[in-house]
Amino acid sequence: MHPTAQEAPSPRGCFVTGTDTGVGKTVVAAALARCLRQHGLSVGVMKPIETGHTAGTSSTSDADRLRAAIGTADSLDLVSPYRFSAPLAPLAAARRAGLTIEIERIVSACKELAARYQYLVVEGVGGVMVPITNHLTVCDLIVRFSLPAVVVSRATLGGVNHALLTVEALRQRRVAILGIVMNHRVTPPESPDDRLQQEATVGLVKELSGVPVVGPLPHEAELDQAWETGLAKIVNDPAIQTLADLVTQGAP
């Protein structure tokens, strides 16, 4: 018998955040959740806040993709308590909808999911300093969830600054960081300068971040045309397998 949401212990798993929007958090979170499931573990998923998706449209939401990745029957309202159509930061999207995001509603959903599963993979919205209320950011939400963070970062020029700023912000709030996933959101150029920039970016993040760094994940073009086919390839990437090991080993 599962404990109630109020009795549920702090969940095991991770909170997948990013250095920015559009860096590939959904791909990493979905692939990681499926990888853990394929290892025989009980896994739940969550996208507490989503913006920029209108119900009833032909496109698939991030929350839907996470649910499909593990074939869960958990309701969309539980997995994603707040969904806004405006493609804005959560605070702005909520204001536009005439609503206020209540963090206790999100934490309650997290506890209910944590009571059902061994592990919980949560995908954030934007970067760690994105505001979700007048006084709270995504980083505050990570703290409330008591989950270690996984940071998704671009493996391109600019990635060093964004990755190190994110790590610094998380450390200031005493959030444990399991690792950084370097990702190619689009197919990288193949010029010698571009390759040099990628190697330097990944190398410096490994040297200076002080946390495990995996990747870079290759851009999988099939994700844009056939999500399920592309995701199946990403799940088998060594970076995702290593990330799954880091999650099961827990925060240092």
pLDDT in tens, 164-222: 999 999 999 999 999 999 998 766 666 677 788 888 999 999 999 999 999 899 888 77
More confident residue, 216 or 6: 216
Task: Quote the percentage of the chain above a pLDDT of 70.
Answer: 91
Q: How confident is the model at residue 156 (pLDDT cuts 50, 70, 90)?
A: confident
> How far is residue 122's CA from residue 14's CA, in Å, rounded to a whole number?
6
**What are the sequence ranges of the domains in the chain?**
12-249
Region 222-251: what's the mean pLDDT? 88
Alpha helices in 80-218 (DSSP H): 90-96, 103-114, 138-145, 159-172, 192-209
What would the CATH number be for the domain defined by 12-249?
3.40.50.300
| Cα–Cα nearest to 216, from 149, 152, 163, 122 | 152
Q: What is the pTM of this model?
A: 0.91
Distance CA 165, CA 39 (A): 33
- In the prediction, which pLDDT does 187 show? 63
With helix as H, strand as E and coil as C, how does 121-148 read?
Answer: EEEEEEECCCECCCCCEHHHHHHHHCCC
Q: Which of 20-24, 68-72, 93-97, 176-180 has the lowest mean pLDDT?
A: 20-24
How would residue 56 be classed by pLDDT, with cut points 50, 70 and 90? low
Q: What is the mean pLDDT of residues 220-230?
A: 81
Q: Is 247 exposed, middle or buried (0-12, 13-18, 19+ CB in 10 A)?
A: buried
Of 11, 17, 239, 251, nearest to 148 (Cα)? 251
**Which pLDDT belongs to residue 193?**
76
Closest CA to 149 of 180, 113, 110, 114: 180
What residues are labeled active site? 47
Check whether 59 has a pLDDT greater than 50: yes
Across 114-121, average pLDDT:
95
pLDDT recorded at residue 31: 96
Q: What is the Cα Rg of the chain in Å? A: 17
pLDDT digits (tens, 9 = 90+) for 131-146: 999 999 999 999 999 9
Produce one character per residue of 218-246: b if its CB has 16 or more CB atoms within 10 Å, e if not: ebbeebeeebeebbeebbebebbbbbbeb
pLDDT at residue number 186:
64
What average pLDDT does the chain have?
Answer: 89
For residue 6, name the pLDDT band (cuts at 50, 70, 90). very low
Measured N-to-C along each axis, helices 25-38 and 227-235 cross at an angle, to the nearest 10 degrees, of 60
Q: How far is the C-alpha of 161 from the C-alpha of 22, rounded, in Å?
A: 16
Contacts within 8 Å (CB) and 24+ apart, 108-111: 108/5, 109/46, 109/48, 109/78, 109/79, 109/81, 110/11, 110/46, 110/48, 110/145, 111/5, 111/6, 111/8, 111/11
**pLDDT band at residue 57 using 50, 70 and 90 as cut-offs:** low
> What pLDDT does residue 40 have?
94
- Torsion sign across C-alpha atoms 63, 68, 72, 73: positive
Q: How many CB atoms lie within 10 A of CB 2?
A: 11
pLDDT band at 72 (very low <50, low <70, confident <90, very high): very high
Cα–Cα dist 238/162, whole Å:
24
pLDDT at 198: 85
